[in-house]
Amino acid sequence: MTTQGLLVENQNGQEFLLRTESRQGLKTHRLIVLQRINGEWQQVIGMKEGACRESLIAAFVDFFVDICHVLNSANSELATLRPTISRRARVQGSSQPNLRSAL
């Protein structure tokens, strides 16, 4: 699978795509904003582009934070399922040479 960009739909049902584009002849990339109009993706330009880009980046950050919350809640659920190990068992080294218990 390859990522084409970040697809976001606004409150009015309009679709926007935030993606990267390599700059010809340079070793850099830039963010571009596309909007789906009549089934075709068209680049957003001018003043609207900056505002759209900021909104799309904010949406990405919100989505990433949500993913972190899901992963953290999954880890806390796993932590409660782990058997408790006595302090003595945690302090002792493993039976393998040069290995210590990770607990």
Two structure tokens written together for 88: 């003595």
Q: Is residue 18 a contact partner of residue 61, using CB atoms and an 8 Å limit?
A: no
Using CA atoms, how far residue 9 sits from 1, 46, 50, 59, 89, in Å, is 22, 20, 17, 10, 53
Q: Name the domain count of the chain.
A: 1
User: Does some domain include residue 97?
Assistant: no
pTM of the entire predicted model: 0.62
User: Does some domain include residue 17?
Assistant: yes
Q: Which residue range forms the structural domain that includes residue 80?
A: 6-91
User: Does some domain include residue 39?
Assistant: yes
- pLDDT tops 70 at residue 46: yes
Per-residue pLDDT tens over the stretch 47-101: 899 899 999 999 999 999 999 989 888 766 555 555 555 444 444 333 333 333 3
pLDDT at 80: 56
